[in-house]
Amino acid sequence: MIESIESLKQEITAFTIQTEEDLEEFRLQFLSRNGKVQDMFKMMGSVPNDQKAKVGKAMNEVKTIAQNRFDEAKENLSEKKSVSFGAADDISLPVLPSYTGSLHPLTSALKEMKQIFLRLGFNIADGPELEDDFHNFTALNFPPDHPARDMQDTFFVRRSEERPQDNLVMRTHTSPVQIRLMKVKEPPIRSIMPGRVYRNEAVTAKSYFQFNQVEGLYVDERVTLGELIETLVMFAKLMYGSDVKYRVRPSFFPFTEPSMEMDIWWDNENGGQWLEILGAGMVDPNVFDAVDVDSEKYTGFAFGMGVDRIALLRYGIDDIRTLYENDIRVLRQFT
């Protein structure tokens, strides 16, 4: 028995460990549950009683040698791995350039828009993307038969012909935030409402079924149409430069009267064209009545602009779908 133990000790001592694979092979052969050291202890039952003390001492010595050999080799390999440098690991070589990521163009455009309106004295309000019929339509002066209520324009989460007030929709604009704000806050109010909106529209180069808006609301005594136009022109100049080419023209929205739209001249490969970036107007008195704001005392203006289209103009992108494709080749241009 002593000869077998001595033979195992010599085998452990002679085993060469130079790599992580050698270390694992050593563990499997000698220290695992089915390894040779464990098998050695299983033979203890056949040792005569008068030799058990001597044999047991020899076995424990072999086990200690095997464990120490394993621990020492493991530590040496770890140190070697941490300080070993080859030709490819020359620490004197310059660091290779790497792409560390950047803000998405939509995020950059929205961030810039927020900063502009904060400079103009607006604060920021927020609201839910899932809205009820009252906040998304009724309070904003949409009549019951308005086309925007139809399935072709709106994503309905819950729809009831008998009880339209129970309808739930993915908000089609951020105007519901204006309603929520006026219901809980007394004028004066001067806020913008950025967020995602959803419309059941065909995807084209200029439109998408999901997009981003920034709406604004200013309510106080004696607010005028001139203040609205001045605010929009100031925004356009701060966003695109003082030489920006713009136009303001009449339009119609259920929740404003009078209403208007602003266009920006967009230079492109076809010679250029006007691109509408926002709608605006004076808040309709019916909207004030729906939220219990005194329409005889207060006036106000509201506007809504698409972040996506503003980003197209800001960065010279010719297709809105590019903003949602996550093409790394495009995103790397906005470092």
Cβ atoms of 217 and 124 closer than 8 Å: no
Q: Does residue 211 sit in the same domain as residue 305? A: yes
pLDDT at 38: 86
pLDDT at 255: 93
Distance CA 58, CA 33 (A): 19
Count of structural domains, the chain: 2
* 3-state SS class at 194: strand
pLDDT at 97: 75
Q: What is the pTM of this model?
A: 0.67
Question: Edge-to-edge, what's the strand order for the sheet holding 189-198?
Answer: 123-124, 189-198, 210-220, 299-306, 273-283, 256-266, 246-253
Q: Does residue 79 sit in the same domain as residue 198? A: no
pLDDT at 41: 81
* 3-state SS class at 155: coil
pLDDT averaged per 10 residues, the chain (length 335): 83 89 89 86 82 84 89 85 58 76 89 95 95 93 79 83 87 94 95 94 86 96 96 94 93 94 84 88 96 96 93 85 86 79
Query: Is 244 inside a domain boundary?
Result: yes
Backbone torsions φ then ψ of 255, nearest 5 degrees: -100, 0
Q: Does residue 12 sit in the same domain as residue 111? A: no
- State the amino acid at position 178 in one-letter form: Q
Backbone torsions φ then ψ of 152, nearest 5 degrees: -70, -15
Distance CA 134, CA 273 (A): 37
Question: Peptide bond before 147: cis, by omega within 30 degrees of 0?
Answer: no
Query: Which CATH number goes with the domain that contains 200?
Result: 3.30.930.10
pLDDT at 145: 79
Angle between helices 225-240 and 307-315 (to 10 degrees): 40
- Of the residues 23, 50, 83, the one at which a domain ends: 83
Domain that holds residue 202: 105-125+183-334
